[in-house]
Amino acid sequence: MGKDAYAEYVRAHPNQRLHWTVMVRNAGVYVKGRIRHPDHATIRLDCWHEVFMNTESQAKARRNVVFLD
C-alpha cells in the first residue's frame, strides 16, 4: 500500500485505530550543523552531507578486532 493509498484509507476510516508504520526502503539521510557523538569531538558541517550506514562490521579484518570498554 503506497503513501497516497494509506492517507486515503485513514481519511475514509477516521474512527479506526490503525497500528501501521510507514517505512521507506533505501531512504536517504542528509545532515548539516553540529554533529555530536560520545566517541568523537563535536564537528560542524556548514553544508549538507549524505549519511551512509557504517559497514565496519562487514570487513574481513573485523574478525580479529575486539573493542573493550
Does residue 67 form part of some domain? no
Does residue 30 form part of some domain? yes
SS3 for 1-66 is CCHHHHHHHHHHCCCCCCCCCCCCCCCCEEEEEEEEECCEEEEEEEEEEEECCCCHHHCHHHHHCC
> Residue 17 is part of which domain span?
3-51
d(CA 6, CA 11): 9
> What pLDDT does residue 30 have?
95
Does residue 69 form part of some domain? no
Domain count, the chain: 1
pLDDT in tens, the chain (69 residues): 677 888 888 889 888 877 778 788 888 999 999 999 998 899 999 999 999 988 877 888 878 777 776
Distance of CA 33 to the CA centre of its chain: 17
> What pLDDT does residue 1 have?
64
Does residue 60 form part of some domain? no
Does residue 59 form part of some domain? no
3-class secondary structure, 67: coil
Does residue 63 form part of some domain? no
For the entire predicted model, the pTM comes to 0.48
Does residue 23 form part of some domain? yes
